Amino acid sequence: MPAGASVTADTNTARSRDDQMRRVVIVGAGGRDFHTFNVVFRDDPDVDVVAFTAAQIPNIDRRTYPPDLAGVRYPSGIPIVPQAELVDLIRTNDVDEVVFAYSDIADTDVMHLAARVLATGADFRLVGQRSATLRSRKPVVAVCATRSGAGKSQTSRAIAHVLQAHGLTVALIRHPMPYGNLHDMRVQRFRTLDDIDASHPTIEEREEYELPVRQGIAVYAGVDYADVVALAEQDADVLLWDGGNNDLPFLEPDVMIVVADALRPGHELSFHPGEANVLLADVLVVNKIDSVPEYERSAVVEGVVDGLRRLNPRADIVLASSPVSLDAGPSIRDKRVLVIEDGPTVTHGGMPFGAASVAALAHGAQPVDPRPFAVGSLRAVYQSFPHLGPVLPAMGYTEQQIADLAATIAATPCDAVLSGTPIDLSSALRGHDLGGHVVRHAAYDLDTATKDRLAALLAPRITRWATRGGPDA
């Protein structure tokens, strides 16, 4: 460039760089993005968060992060727009920095998104744990994973029962699922099924809250996790972080347990931020080894363990079986069955099957392909996730999607319906016509040997924690 030459800014984005706040967009999926804003950016006078973008979860865009959560610097709140509009958003608002803040996305897809951002001239940032993690005055056990559907929740429940058996009160703090009214969801505590019902949850929220509450474990969730943690600290001796997807924990843990899925070897190296979880782990649980076909089980499990050890040689490794149980009922051998699986696990989690599929195979049933009978939004789900085979994802993010799920069940010709979701799906679909089908529940649970091994690994810390006194100690 010749001496004295200058660059003329685009008229849509021209602004003085002197004494200007840094303009930021946070790319998310209705969870970590809000947490990152609350902890890192909300009170930063040098930053103006222009917008959130939303992906991965249906119908969470085209709304506003409300002013009471956004803080005094954002009296109109912050818009939430589709991620597909990101590049235009950067250019229109002269954005300086894009912060990536969601999980269970292929590493290559993260970098493809980074390339699009960098091509606009903006910076691309991943916020680290030092900046975004809350610290508690109570002991914290975190359960995270390398992929959605690896078995975090059953591991969290097993650990909660170990802690309770030693007289400790447990607050299970669940990764956010803020799919409804964000103002109303700021801080949530569920001690009874009535508490859950009163929150008007999606099926996906029920899948995480219902079973712990049925088992006597109080669940905490929300949008502003500083406030969520403060409430949990009042109630409990130990905080138990139950992660979402394969995200990093929001709380700094005293013990971090990370669950890897033996059915998805190598995924700990290829889906963000699973590898970071492995590197941070104190205990690595290789789950569902009993579901790996016997002819290749030894080689597959050995390969997963070797990969984990190369990443984190200091962590204890637990080999875990998760046998599947099926509710009592008539024999389904040679019967046509509709298999319903946990929605996030078989959609963005990438698993083609779950507990209901395993139960159908074990009992000699013949799965029916529901795809030709999919109704409404379920047809779009199959188009978005072409890896899905003859399973019906239990999608229920909206009332319409719940109605579409029920209508698909009713329309699918079968002799029985097997549900691999962690909830009482019949109750969740109460009031909808299921075509006379009775839903039977199939579930993974950690085997006794695995629970005993986890208890033994936690025992020295539990002994110390149990001497601290009651919830306010």
- The model's pLDDT over 404-436, given as tens digits with 9 standing for 90+, comes to 999 999 999 999 999 999 888 988 898 999 999
Global confidence as pTM: 0.91
Q: Which of 217, 221, 216, 215 is nearest to 201 (CA)?
A: 221
Q: Provide the pLDDT for residue 469.
A: 55
Question: How does DSSP assign 160-204, residue by residue?
Answer: HHHHHHTT--EEEEEPP---S-TTTTSEEEESSHHHHHHT---HH
- The model's pLDDT over 41-68, given as tens digits with 9 standing for 90+, comes to 999 999 999 999 999 888 889 999 999 9
CA-based R_g, the chain, Å? 23
Structure tokens at 382: 């199959």
Q: What three-state secondary structure class fits 318?
A: strand
Which residues are 469's β-sheet partners?
none
Burial class (CB in 10 A: 0-12, 13-18, 19+), 16: exposed
Q: Provide the pLDDT for residue 471.
A: 52
Structure tokens at 338: 């509709």
Biggest distance spanned by C-alpha atoms of the chain: 86
361 contacts: CB under 8 Å, gap ≥ 6: none
What does the pLDDT profile of the chain (473 residues) look like in tens digits?
A: 333 332 223 333 334 444 579 999 999 999 999 999 999 999 999 999 999 999 988 888 999 999 999 999 999 999 999 999 999 999 999 999 999 999 999 999 999 999 999 999 999 999 999 999 999 999 999 999 999 999 999 999 999 999 999 999 999 999 999 888 999 999 999 999 999 999 999 998 999 999 999 999 999 999 999 999 999 999 999 999 999 999 999 999 999 999 999 999 999 999 999 999 999 999 999 999 999 999 999 999 999 999 999 999 999 999 999 999 999 999 999 999 999 998 888 998 888 889 999 999 999 999 999 999 999 999 999 999 999 999 999 998 888 999 999 999 999 999 999 999 988 898 889 899 999 999 999 999 999 999 999 999 999 999 999 887 545 44
